[in-house]
Amino acid sequence: MTITQLQYVLAVAEHRNFTLAAEKSFVTQPTLSMQVQKLEDELDVLIFDRSTKPISITEAGQKIVDQARNIVHEAARIRDIVDQEKGFIGGTYTLGVIPTVMPTLLPMFLKTFTSRFPKVHLIIKEQSTEHLIENLREGHLDAGIAATPLRIEHLVERPLYYEPFVAYVPSGHRLSATGKIRPEDLDLDDILLLQDGHCFRDGVINLCKATNRMDNEEFSLESGSFETLVKLADEGMGMTLLPYLHTLDLDAGRKERIKYFQDPPPAREVSLIYHKKELKYQITEALKEVISSVVRGAIAFHDVQIVSPTRNA
């Protein structure tokens, strides 16, 4: 039994196809198939049922796959330990980021991070929270950035910053003449929302539920981007709530439509999350330090209070 054989088993388990698994493993299909077959012969058990399409994993095979994942991760940790001892910060690092954080956060830290750590090859993927969690469990991501808390047993959550909510209120809206607003001023019936699947949407709904201002659960105006919500609000279709960092690039006219909440404002906790059996710890620490410093600096520069988060936002 070899680490390479276990890596091939994991590739087949992921793709459920020997040809695709071989392609992703950068070997020929006969080579991969032969090594998997050799392992099955050694263990005297079938890991995969090749009679089904796509290929399925046998009951015994699933236990082997789960253990193979642990063994491969632990083997990779040896290299990580050596890198830490040498003080080396480099190599490939795959980071997942949720859609409501990616557009604002990435431009803030990426140039600084790549300049400071040029030996790190950072691969960034935009993914929903659900996919982040699954890919961290499967070992396809080294870390993720998401709204927390998630409270998932196998994941570590390390807060990067707390981002206040603000309201975008167009002229003529019932709140347009109001100074600082309160959560109880919100009415979900005239708030434009992100579509299902966005955790920020859930945070807004939870905030409105908490103030008993949720009379209608049927929403006809939903979008996948904050930019669209702002444009719809400009057309008089309602108001919307935005994470604070999304307001920094608004033009002067639109910034005048921003309403802040009375203290303490609702906010979301944004964290760096990774598996408890983490690898590449030195890169994770470097990433956390850079992101925390640049974001907190930006929020402090604009004189916005960093507050405790609204949970599940």
- Tens-digit pLDDT profile for the chain (313 aa)? 999 999 999 999 989 999 999 999 999 999 999 999 999 999 999 999 999 889 999 999 999 999 998 888 778 778 777 776 777 788 889 999 998 899 889 999 999 999 999 999 999 999 989 999 999 988 889 999 998 989 898 899 999 988 888 888 888 888 888 888 888 887 777 777 765 445 555 566 565 654 444 444 444 444 457 888 888 888 887 888 888 888 888 888 888 898 898 888 888 899 999 998 777 888 999 999 999 888 877 766 445 554 444 443 4
Neighbours of 95 (CB within 10 A): 21
Is domain 163-267 classified as CATH 3.40.190.10? yes
- How far is Cα 163 from Cα 296, in angstroms, rounded to an integer? 9
This model's pTM is above 0.75: no
> How far apart are the two ends of the chain, measured CA to CA in Å?
46
Fold classification of 89-159+270-301 (topology level): D-Maltodextrin-Binding Protein; domain 2 (3.40.190)
Helical pair 59-86 and 3-15, crossing angle rounded to 10 deg: 120
Fold classification of 3-84 (topology level): Arc Repressor Mutant, subunit A (1.10.10)
What stretch(es) of the chain map to CATH 3.40.190.10?
89-159+270-301, 163-267
- How far is Cα 55 from Cα 148, in angstroms, rounded to an integer? 36
Check if the beta carbon of residue 205 is closer than 8 Å to that of residue 311. no
